[in-house]
């Protein structure tokens, strides 16, 4: 595949700080490059966009739209279907407060995550994974309470 063709899509459901719920759809564009790291380990990456929704369920809870773009790096060993991943990207939020007690300070946020998953099915078409994500503005504006999310994902690879 080329870096210009859509190579997959995933749906993420999550739960985070202050009873925040999350739902996202994430299209993906694979990079052509793969890196051999020795001992059978291979790294590769892709661009992942996200369009999502966050809902704060505590007092003053807000409904927030979330649009982002993230370069994601994945690591796997040889022919294993199991992977580890990490990423740092950018997010733009429609509101800067999750609820009365959690302010994000800015619509511009950074989102970093670590995760793991497993590809299965014919030609590894399916992807089941978990991500721990932290969203914050990196102290560029107060408040910067940030938000931690536990995200579960199901993807389909073209």
**110 closest CA partner among 55, 157, 147:** 147
CA distance 92 to 81: 33
What is the structure's pLDDT at 78? 79
**% residues pLDDT > 90 (the chain):** 92
CA distance 68 to 144: 18
87 pLDDT above the threshold of 70? yes
Q: DSSP readout, 106-153?
A: -SEEEEEEEEEEEEESGGG-EEEEEEEEEEE-TTSSS----EEEEEEE
The neighbour count for residue 19, using CB atoms within 10 Å, is 13
**Separation in Å, CA 81 to CA 41, 56, 119, 120, 128:** 12, 35, 5, 7, 11
What is the structure's pLDDT at 1? 42
**pTM score of the predicted model:** 0.93
3 pLDDT above the threshold of 70? no
What is the structure's pLDDT at 80? 87
128 pLDDT above the threshold of 50? yes
Which is it for strands 20-36 and 63-77: parallel, antiparallel or unpaired?
unpaired
- What's the mean pLDDT in 40-44? 94
What is the structure's pLDDT at 2? 46
């Amino acid at each position: 595949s080329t870096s210009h063709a859509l190579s997959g899509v995933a749906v993420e459901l999550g739960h985070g700080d202050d009873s925040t719920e999350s739902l996202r759809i994430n299209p993906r564009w694979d990079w052509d490059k793969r890196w051999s790291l020795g001992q059978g380990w291979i790294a590769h990456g892709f661009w992942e966009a996200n369009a999502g929704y966050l809902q704060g369920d505590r007092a003053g809870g807000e409904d927030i739209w979330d649009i982002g773009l993230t370069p994601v790096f994945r690591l796997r060993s040889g022919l294993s279907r199991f992977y580890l991943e990490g990423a740092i990207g950018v997010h733009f939020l429609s509101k800067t407060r999750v609820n009365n007690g959690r302010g994000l300070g800015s619509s511009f946020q950074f989102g970093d995550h670590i995760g793991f998953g497993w590809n299965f099915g014919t030609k590894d078409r399916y992807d089941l994974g978990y991500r721990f994500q932290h969203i914050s503005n990196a102290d560029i504006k107060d408040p910067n309470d940030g938000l931690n999310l536990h995200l579960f994902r199901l993807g389909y690879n073209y």
